[in-house]
Amino acid sequence: MHKILVLGAGLSSGALVSYLLDHAGKGKWKVRLADISEEMAGQKIMGHPAGETVKLDAGDEDHLAYEVHNADLVISMLPARMHPRVARQCVRYGRHLITASYVSPELRELDEEARKKNVLLLNEVGVDPGIDHMSAMYLLERLRKQGAEITAFESNTGGLVAPKHDNNPWNYKFTWNPRNVVLAGQGGAQFLHNGMYKYIPYHKIFRRYERIYVLDLGEFEAYPNRDSLKYQNAYGLQNVETMFRGTIRRPGFCKAWDILVQTGMTDDSYIMHQSDKLTYREYTNSFLAWSPTMNVEDKLAEYTGIDKDSETMYKIRWLGLFSNERVGLRDATPAQILQNLLEKRWKLDPDDKDMIVMQHQIEYKTEGKKKKILSSLVYTGKDAKNTAMSVTVGLPVAIAARLIMEGKISLRGVQIPIHPEIYIPVLQELSEHGIHFIEEEGIPPEQSY
């Protein structure tokens, strides 16, 4: 009996573990779910005869090594910073690894050794990154086979709250790791636009968004996401004039979030003195200049240049940043204090549904004509537990795991899912689960205005 070791029983592991257990009989494997909380792991296994749990602190190298050595395939759903540690053990014992996270420089260094050990380290197999890579490659390769010359590529993805459950002025609720949302953009962004390289520092990220329209859902904002340029070679887009990857939010979000960035509330580099004794009003005031006459609201409006009666200021007030509620977090950074507040305000209610929105915009030339195609995905979750985010992250990982266990993926070394032997079967099966794209012809560039 083969064994699949899953590290991490968090939000994104539900659909993943369910899929693996459902296919355990046919695949003749066991699923061993390891987490710091064995109780949480047990809630995912639900007594399934093909499943088992183990309490594991991923920082315990000896225990981690033991678990990896006794598995045939390892799936890490741990925080991204822990993947290199897991990957080293996988290479050491000749075990394949799957993650949904970006390939880090530290992990990339294992490529040569992994190939020598006949090991596959497959990363970026979630939703973004993941489904975005696979769907983009499928569409790009289809266009190339038709003789098209790709001139521009844009891809945007967002995890949002479904319209019927969108009941706060930010039009946003947490569907993923809140810390990642609070710290988003802090590495800056770079992309290619109309033949010009663009390098956007963190303090300008949320001012450099563009507007897009997705199917019948209306207007969205898309701000630049990390380094778009590193995917030019991977996608075979060395000669395009535009290469952009962005994150989707509803209109008004970026302008309001930029206020929090400009004041310093998203800074995670220092501890605030006696933070547990602060009120949120005092927290906000701590970033603003002293004034004998102006209140906190007026100072924030003046400092950031917004109207105190604007929609943006309404969003800030709604969060409770001017309230006398105690922060209650000791030795916390500004970002941690902000996150603590947002987790209360942006929490999914039990009956809420989230949605994943993704869109590729590709401009190309064929037979001397300029054309544009839009390929859009909208997928809605079932409830606050079975979210669209958890399904679209977990299912691609699970399908890739099955393909590896069945010997259908021959790739080795550090890889992302840009190869047909991965993306074709994964996309086909995702479609069977209702995760599919709708294509539309866009307005050719010369006709846009």
Structure confidence by residue, pLDDT tens digits, 305-358: 999 999 999 999 999 999 999 999 999 999 999 999 999 999 999 999 999 999
Q: Is 59 helix (H, G, I), strand (E, B) or coil?
A: coil
**DSSP secondary structure of 3-51:** EEEEE--STTHHHHHHHHHHTHHHHTEEEEEEES-HHHHHHHHTT-TTE
Q: CB-side exposure of 76: number of CA atoms within 13 Å?
A: 30
Percent share of the chain, pLDDT over 90 = 95
In this predicted model, what pLDDT tens digit does every residue of 394-422 receive, in sequence order?
Answer: 999 999 999 999 999 999 999 999 999 99
Residue 446 pLDDT level (bands cut at 50, 70, 90): low
β 196-200/210-213 pair status:
unpaired
Mark 235-272 as b/e (b = at least 16 C-beta within 10 Å). bebeebbbbbbbbbbbebbbbbbbbbbbbebbbeeeeb
pLDDT at 447 over 80: no
User: Is-contact 411 344, C-beta < 8 A?
Assistant: no
* Phi, psi of 22, rounded to the nearest 5 degrees: -65, -30
Q: How far apart are CA 38 and CA 94, in angstroms?
A: 26
Mean pLDDT, the chain, as a whole number? 96
In this predicted model, what pLDDT tens digit does every residue of 76-125 receive, in sequence order?
Answer: 999 999 999 999 999 999 999 999 999 999 999 999 999 999 999 999 99
Give the model's pLDDT for residue 11.
Answer: 82
The structural architecture, per CATH, of the domain 2-123 is: 3-Layer(aba) Sandwich (3.40)
pTM: 0.94
Residue 126 DSSP symbol: B
Residue 241 DSSP symbol: S
In this predicted model, what pLDDT tens digit does every residue of 245-275 receive, in sequence order?
Answer: 999 999 999 999 999 999 999 999 999 999 9
Q: Is 198 exposed, middle or buried (0-12, 13-18, 19+ CB in 10 A)?
A: middle
CA 282 to chain centre: 32
User: Is-contact 251 172, C-beta < 8 A?
Assistant: no
pLDDT at 448 over 60: no
Q: In the structure encoding, which two tokens stand for residue 261, read together?
A: 């960035």
Nearest CA to 11 out of 44, 39, 37 is that of 44
pLDDT at 188 over 80: yes
Provide long-range contacts, Cβ within 8 A and 24+ apart, for 80-86: 80/104, 82/58, 83/107, 83/123, 84/110, 85/58, 85/61, 86/7, 86/58
Provide long-range contacts, Cβ within 8 A and 24+ apart, for 19-27: 19/394, 19/395, 19/398, 19/399, 19/402, 20/398, 20/401, 20/402, 21/45, 21/48, 21/50, 21/51, 23/402, 24/48, 24/50, 24/51, 25/50, 27/2, 27/402, 27/405, 27/406
Nearest CA to 398 out of 435, 429, 357, 434 is that of 429
Nearest CA to 122 out of 431, 402, 387, 433 is that of 402
Amino acid sitting at position 220: F
Q: How far apart are CA 394 and CA 71, in angstroms?
A: 19
Region of 368 (left: φ > 0; alpha: ψ -120 to 50; beta: rest) is left
Give the model's pLDDT for residue 386.
Answer: 87
User: Is-contact 150 140, C-beta < 8 A?
Assistant: yes
Q: How far apart are CA 419 and CA 24, in angstroms?
A: 26
Sheet order of strands, 2-7 included = 51-55, 29-35, 2-7, 73-76, 96-99, 120-122, 413-415
Residues 6+ away with beta carbon under 8 Å from 306: 259, 312, 313
- Which run of H or of E encompasses 255? helix 253-263
Coarse DSSP helix, strand, coil percentages of the chain, rounded to the nearest 5 percent: 40, 25, 35
| Beta bridge partners of residue 360, listed in sequence order | 155, 375
pLDDT at 169 over 70: yes
